[in-house]
Each structure stands twice: as structure tokens, then as C-alpha cells.
């Protein structure tokens, strides 16, 4: 039964996927705001959307129970501030912003209004990533001392128009660190805790016609003493999305094999990996999990996995990594 009235802001690729998933739940009445009139007309006709807008700042937001902000990152803070001012819960696409301007003011206003607000690091909604964390915390591999997160893909395959979109622009949140590596920085925070120190190298190794980096290696030391590497590039074939957690009594490995995600364990030097769990993760499972969580938050039954405060810390780390990369490239 439809019970929640939701607004999606941004009708690009991610906004459309969020629209599809919310409609598929059967639990939401969805409106959409998209500045490009031709794109808005396409979405209106394809999904039979009754209420549509081209100017976010003219929308009476108080009529909605929740807002999803799926615009380029440089627009996130001003749009989130408008939601907070009228007390409407919101989920903002990652990263939280392109810099720290206005972030503390947003967090303070959200706290003052007492509304739910989250950052859309969607992997934290998936049972498979939750299970990996459970195994790590169980003591199965002893104390987890190191981690390796690999997030690499052929971005041009998914977005052949990458030179024309936000990805190409530094001031819109472009580059692999904010766009891709921040997912795994966020996961590493969730698994390992607070980061004490960070170093990084990054560069534009392959892509032409863009301002930002397409490759990065980020190393973090956590307060508990663990060391973690986040490895990311946007031109690799085939795609690789893997996590390895290295403990004092064994290793855990998380492998994304397309539609199947598996968790493996090895506790000796035999290199024999035992499968602990397998999950089917097809199509828009990432977005569907987040859509279900979003609606449950609005209904008062769940919380957002990544708070604004956590999203701010992820952004701080991603910006530090970008600065390291920028400084090293100048030398």
C-alpha cells in the first residue's frame, strides 16, 4: 500500500535508478525534479509521474515526507539546507559535498530540527557487506590488522559521456576519489573505526578531456593501529570489486563476481579458501536496499546507515586524499 510521499531531486542516471526502485517497492508516491526539460519529459512519460518540477527552490517541500537528493555533489549542501529548514527528512547522494563549506551548518540545523538525514553510501545496506563485518568482529581471524579494498572499473563502459557530465569537473565532485573510492573509505571506517593518518597518490593516467584523477592509491592508519589500502582506477578491464581483511589468525576475502558476492576464509598457509557465504546481488539490488531503508526510516522503523557526521568524516578523508594526490603531482 502506498503510504509515503517522496521527492527525488535529479533525474540523471542515478536519479532514475532511485526512481525505479522506489516505485518498485509499491510503498511510495514519487515526484521528481529535473532541470533539463527534455529529460524531465522523458521520465514523466516513461514512469507516468504526475508531479514534476524543473526548479527545486520553487517546490513547497513541506508536502513531502522525504527527499532524495541525487544531483551533482556541488549542489548537495544548498538543497539539503532547504530540506532541513522545513524539517523534511532527506537522503543525499554521496559524497556529501565537494568541500566542507556549509557542512557543519547543515549538521547543526538537522540536529536542531531533529530530523533523519543520511548520506547514500549504499553498500552499507547490503546483507553481504554486513555479514563480512560480522565475521571480522567475531574473532574468526583474530585481530584484524590490515585491509585491502579494490574498487576498479571501466567507467567509460558505463558512462561513455563521462567527458560531458559531473565526472569531468573538479568543482562538481569529479574524479575517482570522490566518485568511487569514497565508497570504500566509508566501508573502511565502518569496519576499522576512526582514521588517525592518511597518505595518498593519485593522477589522471588514462582519461583525456577531464580535470580530475582517474586513479588513486590511499593508505590509512586507524586509531586502533590497523593499516588499510584503498586502490581505485576507472579504466581497468575487467571490473574488480574486492575486499581482503588480514587478521592474526587468518584472512577474509570478499569478492564481487557480477551477480554473485562471496565471502571466503583462509586460516593457514595452504591458500585453500573456504566459502563462508554467498549472496545474489542482481541489477539494482544496491539501490533497492537503500530504497527500502529510506522508506523504513521515514516510517520510523529504521535509521540511515551513514549519518551526516559520518559522511562528513568520509568527505574529509577523501578531500585529504585528493590534496595528497594534487601535491604529489606538482612535484
Fold match, 4-122+289-305 / 126-282+313-330: no
Q: Which residues contact 92 (CB under 8 A, 6 or more apart)?
A: 68, 69, 76, 79, 80, 117, 118, 119, 120, 311
Q: Quick check: 276 and 255 in contact, CB under 8 A?
A: no
What are the grid coordinates assigned to 142, written together? 583474530
pLDDT of residue 26: 94
- Residue where the block lists cell 565537494: 98
Q: Please check the confidence at residue 331 and state whether its pLDDT lies above 60.
A: no
pLDDT in tens, 139-174: 999 999 999 999 999 888 888 888 888 888 888 898
Q: Where are the domains of the chain?
A: 4-122+289-305, 126-282+313-330
Secondary element (H or E) of residue 236:
strand 235-247
- Cis peptide preceding 95, ω within 30 of 0: yes
| pLDDT > 70 in the chain, percent | 98
| CA 201 remoteness from chain centre | 21
Class of domain 126-282+313-330: alpha beta
- DSSP class of residue 273 equals P
What CATH number has the domain spanning 4-122+289-305?
3.40.50.720
The residues near 220 (Cβ < 8 Å, ≥ 6 apart) are 185, 188, 192, 195, 197, 198, 227, 228, 229, 230, 317
Residue 330, pLDDT > 70, answer: no
Contact by Cβ (8 Å): 15, 73? no
Amino acid at each position: 500500500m502506498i503510504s509515503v510521499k517522496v521527492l527525488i531531486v535529479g533525474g540523471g542516471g542515478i536519479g532514475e535508478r532511485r526512481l525505479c526502485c522506489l516505485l518498485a517497492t509499491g510503498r511510495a508516491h514519487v515526484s521528481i525534479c529535473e532541470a533539463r526539460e527534455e529529460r524531465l519529459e522523458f521520465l514523466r512519460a516513461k514512469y507516468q509521474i504526475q508531479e514534476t518540477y524543473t526548479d527545486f527552490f520553487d517546490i513547497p517541500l513541506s508536502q513531502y515526507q522525504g527527499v532524495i537528493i541525487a544531483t551533482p555533489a556541488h549542489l548537495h549542501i544548498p538543497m539539503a539546507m532547504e530540506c532541513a529548514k522545513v524539517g523534511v527528512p532527506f537522503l543525499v547522494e554521496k559524497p556529501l559535498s565537494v568541500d566542507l563549506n556549509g557542512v557543519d551548518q547543515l549538521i547543526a540545523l538537522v540536529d536542531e530540527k531533529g530530523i533523519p538525514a543520511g548520506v547514500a553510501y549504499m553498500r552499507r545496506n547490503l546483507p553481504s557487506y554486513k555479514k563480512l563485518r560480522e565475521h571480522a568482529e567475531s574473532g574468526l581471524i583474530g585481530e584484524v590488522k590490515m585491509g585491502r579494498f579494490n574498487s576498479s572499473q571501466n567507467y567509460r563502459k558505463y558512462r561513455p559521456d563521462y567527458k560531458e557530465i559531473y565526472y569531468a569537473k573538479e568543482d562538481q565532485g569529479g574524479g575517482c576519489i570522490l566518485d568511487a573510492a569514497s565508497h570504500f573509505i566509508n566501508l573502511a571506517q565502518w569496519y576499522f573505526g576512526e582514521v588517525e593518518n592518511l597518505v595518498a597518490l593519485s593522477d589522471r593516467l588514462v582519461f583525456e578531456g577531464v580535470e580530475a584523477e582517474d586513479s588513486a592509491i590511499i593508505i590509512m592508519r586507524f586509531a586502533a593501529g590497523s593499516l588499510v589500502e584503498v586502490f581505485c582506477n576507472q579504466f581497468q578491464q575487467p571490473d574488480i570489486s574486492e575486499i581482503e581483511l588480514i587478521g592474526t589468525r587468518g584472512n577474509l576475502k570478499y569478492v564481487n563476481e557480477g551477480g554473485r558476492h562471496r565471502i571466503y576464509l583462509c586460516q593457514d598457509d595452504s591458500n585453500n579458501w573456504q566459502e563462508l557465504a554467498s549472496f545474489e546481488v542482481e541489477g539494482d539490488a544496491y539501490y533497492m536496499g537503500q530504497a527500502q531503508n529510506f522508506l523504513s526510516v521515514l516510517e520510523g522503523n529504521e535509521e540511515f546507515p551513514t549519518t551526516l557526521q559520518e559522511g562528513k568524516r568520509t568527505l574529509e578523508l577523501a578531500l585529504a586524499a585528493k590534496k595528497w594526490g594534487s601535491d604529489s603531482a606538482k612535484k
